[in-house]
Amino acid sequence: MSTAKIPNHLLKQMYVKNNLYAAFHIGFHVFVFGLFFVASCYFLNAGYFFYGFLCLIVTGFLGNFFGWSGVGHELLHETVFSSKWLNRFLVKLFSVYLWNNWEYHKISHQIHHRSTMVTGVDFEFDPNQKHLSLWDVFISVTFNYKYLIRALNNTVNNSLGIVKGKFSELYILKDDGKYSKVKRAARTIFLSHCLVFFVTLFFDIVVVSFVFSLSPFFCNIFSRILAISQHFGLESDVNDPRKTSRSLKIPGWMEFLYANMNYHIEHHMYLGIPFYNLPRARAVIERDLPEAMSLKDAIYLAINPLPSHN
């Protein structure tokens, strides 16, 4: 493969942010999510638990794409809207709902892009990651209690100033501002969920708190598979996004939910391009890129991962 490069005049156009499209994209996603959120609350409150559970499955499926496997990832990069304030507000809003500590991920993700798949530096990939077991698939399709336990554990610990792990030991020191930001973000998440609970309890609609706090752990299978496919099984310690990242060919509706993060090589090559311009970027340099993996192969990869090149 030759060096893939977008001509400067085209690149300049691709860096331009389209606030109208971004607002429509996120607005429509939120609208559809909101319909199923309300339906979940209605059916559960009325005692129609089967329909309530089905709506919770869809709510969780849609809601998980507000996170790092979706538009939350792009908002974190501040490439969605021209307003930095709006990007930051929305990423915090979605992160609170999903129990995601945006300050922790911001630190981690900056390193990930600076040193993608560098052993001992990039902690967003696990060279020893195992395939998803049948039980992992089952709980990811239904209710992922493992993620709930992890989210509660991390949020409570971080709120108390306990930030565990090798990554934290290396990059989040108690005497720098990053540590305080991670702690404040965790407290914001915890207190927000508590506030929703007490407000809904006061108005006797506590089912809303149930759906708000637990729906992120329903049906996260696709966001999980797509996240795994971004880098798993590829080369490490190589300074070439075409060897350390993977692009996917997935249905248009899933591209919409995933905020075009299936164009992952392109994203790593040109970090400043908004997600809605990534298909155009690929069209320009596609002949110099590896063939995009199909969704079917991405699912197979998650269940039966390819050998690592480490």
Query: Exposure string (b/e) for 260-291, b if CB count within 10 Å is 16 or more?
Result: bbbbbbbbbbbeebbbbbbeebbebbeeebee
HSE, side-chain direction, 13 A CA sphere, residue 69: 21
Compute the 3-state secondary structure of the chain and give helix, strand, coil in percent, each to the nearest 5: 65, 0, 30
Tokens 């908004």 found at: 274
Q: Alpha-carbon torsion 26, 28, 33, 38, what sign?
A: positive
Residues 6+ positions from 52 with CB-CB distance below 8 Å: 40, 42, 43, 44
Give pLDDT, residue 1: 44
> In the prediction, which pLDDT does 307 show?
46
Distances 172 to 92, 167, 188 between C-alpha atoms, Å: 20, 8, 19
pLDDT reported for residue 202: 97
The tens-digit pLDDT sequence of the chain (310 residues) is 446 789 999 999 999 999 999 999 999 999 999 999 999 999 999 999 999 999 999 999 999 999 999 999 999 999 999 999 999 999 999 999 999 999 999 999 999 999 999 999 999 987 777 889 999 999 999 999 999 999 999 999 999 999 988 899 889 987 788 999 999 999 999 999 999 999 999 999 999 999 999 999 999 999 999 999 999 989 999 999 999 999 999 999 999 999 999 999 999 999 999 999 999 999 999 999 999 999 999 999 998 754 444 3
Query: pTM of the predicted model, to two decimals?
Result: 0.93
Q: Are 57 and 211 a contacting pair, CB within 8 Å?
A: no
CA-to-CA distance for 212 and 20, rounded, in angstroms?
Answer: 28
